[in-house]
Amino acid sequence: MIKDIRTTLLDERKSLSDFYNPQVLINMGPSHPAMHGTLRVMCRVNGEVVEDATCEIGYLHRAIEKLAEHKTYHQWIVYTDRLNYCSALTNNIGYVMTVEDLLGIEVTERCQWIRVICMELARIIDHLICIAINALDMGALTCFWYLYHWREEAYSIIEAMCGMRLTTSYARIGGMSYDLPDNFDSMMTKFLKGLPKSIDDVEKLLSANRIWVDRTKDVGTLTKQEVMDFGLTGPVARASGVDFDLRRDRPYYTYPELDFEVVCGVNGDVYDRYLVRMEEIRQSAHILAQCVKKLPKGPLWVDDRLIKIPAKQDVYNNMETLIHHFKIFMDGIHVGPGEAYNAVESPNGELAFYIVSRGGTKPWRTRIKPPSLLLFQSFEYSMKGAKIPDAVSILGSLNIIAGELDR
Protein backbone atom coordinates (compact mmCIF):
# COMPACT_ATOMS: atom_id res chain seq x y z
CA MET A 1 0.00 0.00 0.00
CA ILE A 2 2.79 2.42 1.04
CA LYS A 3 4.78 1.46 -2.02
CA ASP A 4 1.81 2.24 -4.20
CA ILE A 5 1.50 5.73 -2.79
CA ARG A 6 5.20 6.25 -3.34
CA THR A 7 5.04 5.18 -6.95
CA THR A 8 2.03 7.38 -7.58
CA LEU A 9 3.84 10.30 -6.01
CA LEU A 10 6.92 9.61 -8.07
CA ASP A 11 4.88 9.36 -11.21
CA GLU A 12 3.19 12.57 -10.33
CA ARG A 13 6.51 14.26 -9.79
CA LYS A 14 7.77 12.93 -13.09
CA SER A 15 4.86 14.41 -14.95
CA LEU A 16 5.33 17.61 -12.98
CA SER A 17 8.99 17.78 -13.94
CA ASP A 18 7.93 17.29 -17.52
CA PHE A 19 5.58 20.15 -17.02
CA TYR A 20 8.22 22.38 -15.50
CA ASN A 21 10.92 21.24 -17.89
CA PRO A 22 9.52 21.91 -21.27
CA GLN A 23 11.86 22.50 -24.14
CA VAL A 24 10.35 25.75 -25.20
CA LEU A 25 11.52 27.70 -28.18
CA ILE A 26 11.55 31.44 -27.62
CA ASN A 27 11.99 33.88 -30.43
CA MET A 28 13.46 37.23 -29.45
CA GLY A 29 13.44 39.90 -32.07
CA PRO A 30 13.92 41.34 -34.58
CA SER A 31 11.41 43.81 -33.22
CA HIS A 32 12.15 43.44 -29.54
CA PRO A 33 13.06 46.34 -27.28
CA ALA A 34 16.16 44.66 -25.90
CA MET A 35 17.34 43.38 -29.27
CA HIS A 36 18.30 46.86 -30.50
CA GLY A 37 15.85 46.82 -33.35
CA THR A 38 17.34 44.36 -35.77
CA LEU A 39 18.83 41.39 -34.02
CA ARG A 40 17.06 38.10 -33.70
CA VAL A 41 17.80 35.22 -31.37
CA MET A 42 16.02 31.90 -31.17
CA CYS A 43 16.54 30.27 -27.79
CA ARG A 44 15.64 26.83 -26.57
CA VAL A 45 14.89 27.31 -22.91
CA ASN A 46 14.61 24.80 -20.12
CA GLY A 47 12.68 26.55 -17.42
CA GLU A 48 14.38 29.88 -17.45
CA VAL A 49 17.80 28.65 -18.51
CA VAL A 50 18.80 29.00 -22.14
CA GLU A 51 20.08 25.67 -23.40
CA ASP A 52 20.80 26.57 -26.97
CA ALA A 53 20.59 29.74 -28.99
CA THR A 54 20.88 30.69 -32.62
CA CYS A 55 21.43 34.23 -33.77
CA GLU A 56 20.01 35.48 -37.00
CA ILE A 57 21.43 38.63 -38.52
CA GLY A 58 21.01 40.41 -41.82
CA TYR A 59 17.92 42.45 -40.97
CA LEU A 60 19.84 45.61 -41.70
CA HIS A 61 21.95 44.37 -44.60
CA ARG A 62 22.09 47.45 -46.79
CA ALA A 63 24.76 46.31 -49.26
CA ILE A 64 27.26 48.99 -48.26
CA GLU A 65 30.18 46.88 -49.51
CA LYS A 66 28.52 46.40 -52.88
CA LEU A 67 27.75 50.11 -53.09
CA ALA A 68 31.43 50.88 -52.58
CA GLU A 69 32.17 49.27 -55.94
CA HIS A 70 29.75 51.66 -57.61
CA LYS A 71 30.77 54.91 -55.92
CA THR A 72 33.90 56.98 -56.11
CA TYR A 73 36.19 57.15 -53.11
CA HIS A 74 34.75 60.47 -51.99
CA GLN A 75 31.15 59.51 -52.52
CA TRP A 76 31.49 56.53 -50.25
CA ILE A 77 32.47 58.56 -47.19
CA VAL A 78 28.79 59.18 -46.42
CA TYR A 79 28.17 55.44 -46.25
CA THR A 80 30.84 55.01 -43.57
CA ASP A 81 28.75 57.24 -41.30
CA ARG A 82 25.98 54.72 -41.39
CA LEU A 83 28.14 51.80 -40.30
CA ASN A 84 28.50 52.53 -36.63
CA TYR A 85 26.20 55.50 -36.32
CA CYS A 86 27.08 56.03 -32.67
CA SER A 87 30.67 56.84 -33.56
CA ALA A 88 30.49 57.96 -37.16
CA LEU A 89 33.65 60.06 -36.87
CA THR A 90 35.83 57.01 -36.23
CA ASN A 91 34.43 55.29 -39.30
CA ASN A 92 35.06 58.32 -41.51
CA ILE A 93 38.63 58.58 -40.38
CA GLY A 94 39.34 54.86 -40.56
CA TYR A 95 38.19 54.82 -44.15
CA VAL A 96 40.01 57.91 -45.41
CA MET A 97 43.13 56.66 -43.64
CA THR A 98 43.05 53.52 -45.78
CA VAL A 99 42.49 55.49 -48.98
CA GLU A 100 45.37 57.77 -48.03
CA ASP A 101 47.53 54.68 -47.56
CA LEU A 102 46.58 53.59 -51.06
CA LEU A 103 47.50 57.02 -52.40
CA GLY A 104 50.68 57.07 -50.34
CA ILE A 105 50.10 60.48 -48.77
CA GLU A 106 50.46 61.65 -45.21
CA VAL A 107 48.11 64.24 -43.78
CA THR A 108 49.37 67.38 -42.07
CA GLU A 109 50.08 67.56 -38.39
CA ARG A 110 47.09 69.73 -37.56
CA CYS A 111 44.84 67.36 -39.45
CA GLN A 112 46.23 64.43 -37.47
CA TRP A 113 45.49 66.16 -34.19
CA ILE A 114 41.97 67.02 -35.28
CA ARG A 115 41.40 63.42 -36.26
CA VAL A 116 42.58 62.20 -32.87
CA ILE A 117 40.16 64.66 -31.23
CA CYS A 118 37.34 63.35 -33.41
CA MET A 119 38.07 59.74 -32.62
CA GLU A 120 38.20 60.32 -28.88
CA LEU A 121 35.00 62.36 -28.94
CA ALA A 122 33.34 59.53 -30.84
CA ARG A 123 34.61 57.04 -28.28
CA ILE A 124 33.08 59.05 -25.45
CA ILE A 125 29.71 59.23 -27.21
CA ASP A 126 29.70 55.56 -28.06
CA HIS A 127 30.52 54.48 -24.51
CA LEU A 128 27.91 56.87 -23.12
CA ILE A 129 25.24 55.37 -25.35
CA CYS A 130 26.35 51.83 -24.57
CA ILE A 131 26.19 52.30 -20.81
CA ALA A 132 22.96 54.28 -21.01
CA ILE A 133 21.20 51.65 -23.11
CA ASN A 134 22.61 48.78 -21.09
CA ALA A 135 21.29 50.39 -17.91
CA LEU A 136 18.00 51.26 -19.57
CA ASP A 137 17.46 47.68 -20.69
CA MET A 138 17.82 46.63 -17.07
CA GLY A 139 15.45 49.30 -15.85
CA ALA A 140 17.87 51.96 -14.63
CA LEU A 141 16.28 54.92 -16.34
CA THR A 142 18.00 57.68 -14.35
CA CYS A 143 21.43 56.95 -15.80
CA PHE A 144 19.91 57.27 -19.25
CA TRP A 145 18.91 60.89 -18.53
CA TYR A 146 22.28 61.77 -16.98
CA LEU A 147 24.36 60.27 -19.77
CA TYR A 148 22.18 61.45 -22.63
CA HIS A 149 22.56 65.01 -21.45
CA TRP A 150 26.32 64.85 -21.98
CA ARG A 151 25.86 63.09 -25.24
CA GLU A 152 23.77 66.00 -26.42
CA GLU A 153 26.53 68.38 -25.33
CA ALA A 154 29.03 66.35 -27.35
CA TYR A 155 26.68 66.47 -30.31
CA SER A 156 26.52 70.23 -30.17
CA ILE A 157 30.33 70.31 -30.38
CA ILE A 158 30.23 67.93 -33.36
CA GLU A 159 27.49 70.00 -34.96
CA ALA A 160 29.70 73.08 -34.66
CA MET A 161 32.58 71.12 -36.21
CA CYS A 162 30.86 69.70 -39.25
CA GLY A 163 27.24 70.78 -39.35
CA MET A 164 25.63 67.45 -38.57
CA ARG A 165 24.85 65.66 -35.35
CA LEU A 166 24.97 61.99 -36.14
CA THR A 167 26.08 61.32 -39.68
CA THR A 168 29.09 63.57 -39.77
CA SER A 169 31.05 62.86 -42.98
CA TYR A 170 33.72 65.10 -41.49
CA ALA A 171 36.86 63.57 -42.94
CA ARG A 172 37.97 64.01 -46.53
CA ILE A 173 40.75 62.24 -48.37
CA GLY A 174 43.80 64.32 -47.55
CA GLY A 175 42.21 66.58 -44.97
CA MET A 176 39.00 67.51 -43.25
CA SER A 177 35.93 69.17 -44.70
CA TYR A 178 36.15 72.12 -42.28
CA ASP A 179 38.61 73.41 -39.75
CA LEU A 180 37.61 73.46 -36.10
CA PRO A 181 35.20 76.23 -35.10
CA ASP A 182 36.56 79.36 -33.44
CA ASN A 183 35.06 78.71 -30.04
CA PHE A 184 36.16 75.08 -30.01
CA ASP A 185 38.49 75.51 -27.03
CA SER A 186 35.86 77.01 -24.78
CA MET A 187 33.23 74.45 -25.81
CA MET A 188 35.59 71.59 -25.19
CA THR A 189 36.72 72.97 -21.84
CA LYS A 190 33.12 73.27 -20.71
CA PHE A 191 32.42 69.73 -21.90
CA LEU A 192 35.46 68.25 -20.18
CA LYS A 193 34.62 70.05 -16.97
CA GLY A 194 31.06 68.81 -16.79
CA LEU A 195 31.39 65.27 -18.11
CA PRO A 196 33.45 63.71 -15.26
CA LYS A 197 30.95 64.97 -12.71
CA SER A 198 28.12 63.23 -14.52
CA ILE A 199 30.18 60.07 -14.87
CA ASP A 200 30.83 60.15 -11.13
CA ASP A 201 27.12 60.52 -10.49
CA VAL A 202 26.31 57.54 -12.68
CA GLU A 203 29.03 55.53 -11.01
CA LYS A 204 27.55 56.33 -7.63
CA LEU A 205 24.18 55.16 -8.87
CA LEU A 206 25.37 51.96 -10.46
CA SER A 207 28.70 50.62 -9.22
CA ALA A 208 27.52 49.66 -5.75
CA ASN A 209 23.88 49.23 -6.63
CA ARG A 210 22.73 45.84 -5.43
CA ILE A 211 20.39 45.21 -8.36
CA TRP A 212 22.95 46.29 -10.93
CA VAL A 213 25.71 44.19 -9.37
CA ASP A 214 23.46 41.15 -9.08
CA ARG A 215 22.45 41.38 -12.69
CA THR A 216 25.91 42.00 -14.10
CA LYS A 217 28.43 40.24 -11.89
CA ASP A 218 29.48 36.83 -13.27
CA VAL A 219 27.08 37.21 -16.15
CA GLY A 220 28.29 36.53 -19.67
CA THR A 221 31.81 35.77 -18.55
CA LEU A 222 34.38 35.23 -21.29
CA THR A 223 37.85 33.98 -20.47
CA LYS A 224 41.03 35.20 -22.14
CA GLN A 225 41.22 32.06 -24.24
CA GLU A 226 37.63 32.42 -25.45
CA VAL A 227 38.24 36.05 -26.34
CA MET A 228 41.22 35.06 -28.48
CA ASP A 229 39.26 32.22 -30.02
CA PHE A 230 36.40 34.48 -31.03
CA GLY A 231 38.79 37.19 -32.20
CA LEU A 232 37.20 39.81 -29.97
CA THR A 233 38.73 43.22 -29.50
CA GLY A 234 37.90 46.45 -27.76
CA PRO A 235 36.40 46.94 -24.30
CA VAL A 236 34.94 43.42 -24.23
CA ALA A 237 38.36 41.87 -24.77
CA ARG A 238 40.02 44.26 -22.34
CA ALA A 239 37.43 43.43 -19.67
CA SER A 240 38.57 39.82 -19.94
CA GLY A 241 42.17 40.84 -19.33
CA VAL A 242 43.44 40.83 -22.91
CA ASP A 243 45.76 43.80 -22.81
CA PHE A 244 45.35 44.96 -26.36
CA ASP A 245 44.65 48.41 -27.71
CA LEU A 246 45.59 49.46 -31.23
CA ARG A 247 46.12 53.02 -30.05
CA ARG A 248 49.06 51.85 -27.96
CA ASP A 249 50.17 48.66 -29.70
CA ARG A 250 50.06 49.81 -33.30
CA PRO A 251 49.80 53.56 -32.90
CA TYR A 252 48.59 55.81 -35.68
CA TYR A 253 48.55 59.59 -35.96
CA THR A 254 49.67 61.36 -32.79
CA TYR A 255 48.82 58.70 -30.24
CA PRO A 256 52.49 58.02 -29.35
CA GLU A 257 52.74 61.59 -28.08
CA LEU A 258 49.71 61.28 -25.84
CA ASP A 259 49.57 60.02 -22.32
CA PHE A 260 46.80 57.55 -21.61
CA GLU A 261 46.31 54.18 -20.03
CA VAL A 262 44.84 51.04 -21.50
CA VAL A 263 42.14 49.91 -19.11
CA CYS A 264 41.90 46.21 -18.40
CA GLY A 265 39.45 44.17 -16.41
CA VAL A 266 39.88 40.84 -14.68
CA ASN A 267 36.70 38.78 -14.77
CA GLY A 268 35.37 39.46 -18.24
CA ASP A 269 31.77 39.71 -17.10
CA VAL A 270 29.24 42.42 -17.84
CA TYR A 271 30.20 44.35 -14.72
CA ASP A 272 33.85 44.53 -15.76
CA ARG A 273 32.87 45.71 -19.23
CA TYR A 274 30.87 48.48 -17.65
CA LEU A 275 33.81 49.48 -15.45
CA VAL A 276 36.22 49.38 -18.41
CA ARG A 277 33.93 51.61 -20.45
CA MET A 278 33.54 54.08 -17.59
CA GLU A 279 37.29 54.32 -17.14
CA GLU A 280 37.83 54.64 -20.88
CA ILE A 281 35.52 57.65 -20.94
CA ARG A 282 37.76 59.26 -18.35
CA GLN A 283 40.88 58.34 -20.30
CA SER A 284 39.40 59.77 -23.48
CA ALA A 285 38.52 62.98 -21.67
CA HIS A 286 42.12 63.09 -20.47
CA ILE A 287 43.36 62.65 -24.05
CA LEU A 288 41.02 65.38 -25.28
CA ALA A 289 42.34 67.80 -22.66
CA GLN A 290 45.89 67.10 -23.86
CA CYS A 291 44.86 67.50 -27.51
CA VAL A 292 43.25 70.88 -26.90
CA LYS A 293 46.50 72.04 -25.32
CA LYS A 294 48.80 70.60 -27.96
CA LEU A 295 46.76 71.37 -31.09
CA PRO A 296 49.21 73.03 -33.48
CA LYS A 297 48.43 75.73 -35.99
CA GLY A 298 49.19 75.13 -39.63
CA PRO A 299 47.69 73.91 -42.87
CA LEU A 300 44.80 71.46 -42.74
CA TRP A 301 45.14 69.95 -46.17
CA VAL A 302 47.88 68.01 -47.90
CA ASP A 303 49.77 69.98 -50.48
CA ASP A 304 48.74 67.91 -53.48
CA ARG A 305 46.69 69.51 -56.22
CA LEU A 306 45.23 66.21 -57.40
CA ILE A 307 43.80 65.42 -53.99
CA LYS A 308 43.16 68.70 -52.23
CA ILE A 309 39.63 70.00 -52.53
CA PRO A 310 39.81 73.68 -53.55
CA ALA A 311 38.49 76.30 -51.16
CA LYS A 312 34.89 77.34 -51.80
CA GLN A 313 35.93 80.99 -52.19
CA ASP A 314 38.21 80.10 -55.12
CA VAL A 315 35.63 77.80 -56.68
CA TYR A 316 33.14 80.63 -56.95
CA ASN A 317 35.61 83.23 -58.25
CA ASN A 318 38.06 81.31 -60.36
CA MET A 319 37.26 79.43 -63.57
CA GLU A 320 40.14 76.93 -63.42
CA THR A 321 39.45 76.09 -59.80
CA LEU A 322 35.79 75.53 -60.61
CA ILE A 323 36.74 73.02 -63.30
CA HIS A 324 39.19 71.38 -60.94
CA HIS A 325 36.54 71.14 -58.25
CA PHE A 326 34.11 69.68 -60.76
CA LYS A 327 36.66 67.09 -61.89
CA ILE A 328 37.42 65.99 -58.32
CA PHE A 329 33.78 65.44 -57.48
CA MET A 330 32.33 64.21 -60.76
CA ASP A 331 35.29 62.15 -61.87
CA GLY A 332 36.80 61.29 -58.54
CA ILE A 333 40.33 60.88 -57.35
CA HIS A 334 42.44 58.46 -59.37
CA VAL A 335 44.01 55.76 -57.25
CA GLY A 336 46.65 53.46 -58.63
CA PRO A 337 46.36 49.67 -58.45
CA GLY A 338 47.27 48.07 -55.17
CA GLU A 339 45.74 47.18 -51.87
CA ALA A 340 45.82 48.40 -48.33
CA TYR A 341 44.50 47.18 -45.01
CA ASN A 342 44.19 49.51 -42.12
CA ALA A 343 42.69 49.18 -38.69
CA VAL A 344 41.76 51.74 -36.08
CA GLU A 345 40.66 51.22 -32.51
CA SER A 346 37.01 52.06 -32.77
CA PRO A 347 34.96 52.24 -29.54
CA ASN A 348 33.84 48.66 -30.06
CA GLY A 349 37.18 47.23 -31.05
CA GLU A 350 39.29 46.80 -34.14
CA LEU A 351 37.56 48.41 -37.12
CA ALA A 352 39.43 47.65 -40.31
CA PHE A 353 39.05 48.63 -43.92
CA TYR A 354 40.56 46.56 -46.70
CA ILE A 355 40.54 48.15 -50.12
CA VAL A 356 41.62 46.47 -53.34
CA SER A 357 42.12 48.93 -56.15
CA ARG A 358 42.57 48.05 -59.80
CA GLY A 359 43.22 51.65 -60.74
CA GLY A 360 40.65 54.28 -61.55
CA THR A 361 38.28 56.27 -59.41
CA LYS A 362 36.30 53.43 -57.89
CA PRO A 363 37.60 50.64 -55.69
CA TRP A 364 37.46 47.07 -56.94
CA ARG A 365 36.55 45.72 -53.53
CA THR A 366 36.07 47.41 -50.20
CA ARG A 367 35.81 45.23 -47.17
CA ILE A 368 34.75 46.49 -43.79
CA LYS A 369 35.80 44.38 -40.86
CA PRO A 370 33.40 45.41 -38.14
CA PRO A 371 34.08 44.56 -34.51
CA SER A 372 30.37 43.87 -33.93
CA LEU A 373 30.22 40.81 -36.17
CA LEU A 374 32.68 38.87 -34.07
CA LEU A 375 31.19 40.24 -30.84
CA PHE A 376 27.73 39.05 -31.78
CA GLN A 377 29.11 35.67 -32.74
CA SER A 378 30.27 35.22 -29.16
CA PHE A 379 26.76 36.08 -27.97
CA GLU A 380 25.42 32.66 -28.98
CA TYR A 381 28.10 31.12 -26.84
CA SER A 382 27.68 33.36 -23.79
CA MET A 383 23.93 32.82 -23.82
CA LYS A 384 24.28 29.11 -23.29
CA GLY A 385 23.52 28.44 -19.66
CA ALA A 386 22.45 32.00 -18.98
CA LYS A 387 18.93 33.10 -18.22
CA ILE A 388 16.70 35.15 -20.48
CA PRO A 389 17.14 38.37 -18.45
CA ASP A 390 20.89 37.77 -18.48
CA ALA A 391 20.77 37.71 -22.25
CA VAL A 392 19.49 41.28 -22.20
CA SER A 393 22.35 42.49 -20.03
CA ILE A 394 24.96 40.57 -22.03
CA LEU A 395 23.71 41.97 -25.31
CA GLY A 396 23.76 45.49 -23.96
CA SER A 397 27.31 45.10 -22.73
CA LEU A 398 28.54 43.83 -26.10
CA ASN A 399 27.23 47.04 -27.70
CA ILE A 400 26.18 45.55 -31.02
CA ILE A 401 25.51 48.20 -33.62
CA ALA A 402 23.36 46.69 -36.33
CA GLY A 403 24.63 49.09 -38.98
CA GLU A 404 28.14 47.71 -38.87
CA LEU A 405 27.07 44.20 -37.98
CA ASP A 406 25.10 43.70 -41.19
CA ARG A 407 26.61 46.48 -43.31
Pick the closer one to another protein by CB: 153 or 318. Answer: 153
| CA-based nearest residue to 134, from 280, 283, 273 | 273
Q: At closest approach, how far in Å is the CB of 361 from another protein?
A: 14
Report the Cα 56 to chain-centroid distance in Å: 20
Is residue 93 within 8 Å of 171, Cβ to Cβ?
yes
Q: At closest approach, how far in Å is the CB of 301 from another protein?
A: 15
Pick the closer one to another protein by CB: 89 or 343. Answer: 343
Pick the closer one to another protein by CB: 53 or 324. Answer: 53
Q: Is 371 left (phi over 0), alpha (psi -120 to 50) or beta?
A: alpha
Pick the closer one to another protein by CB: 251 or 299. Answer: 251
Distance CA 379, CA 394 (A): 8
Q: At closest approach, how far in Å is the CB of 62 from another protein?
A: 5
Q: At closest approach, how far in Å is the CB of 159 from another protein?
A: 9
Distance CA 197, CA 12 (A): 59
Distance CA 401, CA 340 (A): 25
Q: At closest approach, how far in Å is the CB of 156 from another protein?
A: 10
Question: What single DSSP character describes residue 382?
Answer: H
For 80, other C-beta atoms within 10 Å of its C-beta total: 28
Pick the closer one to another protein by CB: 230 or 271. Answer: 230
Q: At closest approach, how far in Å is the CB of 210 from another protein?
A: 26
Pick the closer one to another protein by CB: 67 or 289. Answer: 67
Q: At closest approach, how far in Å is the CB of 18 from another protein?
A: 19
Pick the closer one to another protein by CB: 289 or 339. Answer: 339
CA dist 253 to 111, 116, 187, Å?
9, 7, 24
Total length of the chain: 407
Distance CA 151, CA 53 (A): 34
Is residue 233 within 8 Å of 369, Cβ to Cβ?
no
- Which ranges constitute the DSSP H helices of 72-170? 77-81, 88-103, 109-137, 141-162
Distance CA 128, CA 149 (A): 10
